[in-house]
Structure 1
């Protein structure tokens, strides 16, 4: 179930819909022979308003702060009401950042479970053939949705330090096109499958997180950062709380100093192979799933 962006729904209608959805899930769990199952849901509306009588525990998994998401701004009050209900009901909360947990203020158990990486995708060696040979080096790479979370100031300051800057991913708005028009060495590349993405990131000289500072970005656990480090690349990132303690090699920056700090990251160079493999092992999705299940199945 999902919200229709064209018409903000009424809370009373949502409560009715999700109570019915919760009862349906309970029936399906019973039909499957589950006994006292635990429920994990990524949908804050389902967590907040669903009828969870058939489950021994309910864990909401927050991967973004939807109340601060610019793509969902029409529903900010709805999401805030959902957060209040999650707290009032004492549900368990796992979130990718402490900032999301703080905004929900859960009364039940909570845990930060950030994003992770797939060792099968990211653990191998760099590709034998350079997939970026058509671009002038040094190359800076950004991966992910290209939209207003990107700071034009940061990229403009970084551009003189690179032969090419590649923005790899889906276009959420016209931000990427405007940057590519304004900055001659900025290039847009489409979304890639995981194998090709890993090869592209491994071929970068520096990986970039040139985010603006906003309520949304302050609550993000950027998947791209974990993938950049799993590829062993030097990273320069806007100084945001969830990024600060991921790895000491990350060069943190203001948007104004992003160019100077891109040069620092270039000079720092890649992680050595032992450190890269250790990072992958410590930040695998298997580790993250274990943490989620530990929270969901605990007897707190």
Structure 2
């Protein structure tokens, strides 16, 4: 495809926030010659009032304007919007008009006349048709109605239905999301999460030192990397930790006590909630883990997700124990699945005992088929095909 193609991406995360699919995908398109304007997550005045750190960070970046942080890649923080967009389509449309007017200056300055409009959230529906876009892509990485109720659920569902009806291409990152969205848009493609293989394979590199924090924790270590929220089965984890007192359980990620009760986990003396670390430090932390965990709860919120960490653990060569989740079943030859605390603990002991350098190399080799580069290869082919039909 021509290197002159531009992408206007409305993200559901900030660029320097939790590193995931939005940043990985847009970074790779920029590397391929696409010019990408990455608009960070839209936030209402209520969020600026509730989170002082967000207010300070966004105010500074908003005043800085568009910043080119990589070749062909600019990030831009939007101004605060009117509250209530999750409860009122009218407010969502008013905010869209404000965003379009605000963005106009930057689109002219960067000479982005007819971009690919790449959306990540249902609330972006009113933005469609405001940028003379040549193609609309909806990259659906969550089931946004999961865990919501009443008017909020109805509004999100209505906005997403609009996105699905108007999008030219829909990328669904899990089987359940694909099955749901394909009913409303026949141009829906399943593209799961991927791994930054070159980054996580550093965990197998002999020259990579174990992170000092991991090095200070005695083995054996069971580890999890990611947000600690209601997608995890906290009670199962607490029971497993209680049943394996000689093991240490290390959690690398932001704990969200407001979404899930973490007290059962905190009560275990062999549990370490280390908090969030820079993405660059994660391979050194994973290197210190003997077994990696995918302890997802059996909830609507968790079932629809594509477990990014599955592919990252494989790239790091680590043995994996998971609860039963739709997205891990196809990897049953590469990990152990367990549903009860007793079975989960037994699986941890088994995979650690059976691990070997050869198995580690095979896991890393498998992960190369699931790299972000492979995912974006497929996305680019699909986008090119649909642009050719326009």
* 1:88 equivalent among 165, 168, 181: 165
In the TM superposition, what whole-angstrom CA distance separates every residue of 1:212-263 from its partner, at most 9, and x where no partner exists? 1111111111222211111111111111112222463121121453223223
In structure 2, the partner of 1:164 is 248
SS across alignment from 1:298: helix
The offset of 1:36, in angstroms, is 4.6
CA gap of 1:181–1:24, structure 2 versus 1, over 3 A, is closer
Task: Tell me, yes or no, if structure 1 residue 222 matches structure 2 residue 307.
Answer: yes
Q: Specify every segment of 5 or more residues in structure 2 that has no aligned partner in the other structure, as ranges.
A: 1-41, 48-82
Q: 1:54 to 1:255 in 2, by over 3 A?
A: farther
Residue 111 of structure 1: aligned partner: 189
Shift in Å, 1:141:
0.3
Counterpart pick for 2:257 among 166, 173, 177 = 173
Residue deviations 1:10-54 (CA, integer Å, cap 9, x gap): 112213432554576678556644465322121322146532561
**Structure 2: how far apart are the matches of 1:288 and 1:47?**
25
Higher relative contact order (CA 8 A, sep 6+): 1
CA 1:186/1:232 → structure 2, altered by over 3 Å: closer, same or farther? same
Are 1:266 and 2:352 counterparts?
yes
Unpaired runs of 5+ residues, structure 1, are none
CA RMSD of aligned residues (A): 2.9
Match of 1:296 in 2: 383
Q: Mean Cα displacement is larger for which, 270-279 or 207-216?
A: 270-279
Match of 2:326 in 1: 241
Structure 1 CA distance, aligned partners of 2:110 and 2:209?
48
Report the counterpart of residue 62 of structure 1 in structure 2.
140
What are the equivalent positions in structure 2 for 1:201-216 lying under 5 Å apart? Answer: 201-216=286-301
Asked if the contact 1:22–1:51 (Cα under 8 Å) also holds between the matched residues in 2, the reply is no
Map of 2:177 onto structure 1:
100
**Which residue of structure 2 lines up, in the alignment, with residue 2 of structure 1?**
43
**77-86 vs 8-17, which moves further:** 8-17
**CA drift at 1:85:** 1.1
Whether the aligned pair in 2 keeps the contact of 1:36 and 1:56 (CA below 8 Å) is yes
Deviation sequence 1:162-211 (CA, Å, 0-9, x none): 52011111111165751343222111112112232111112211111112
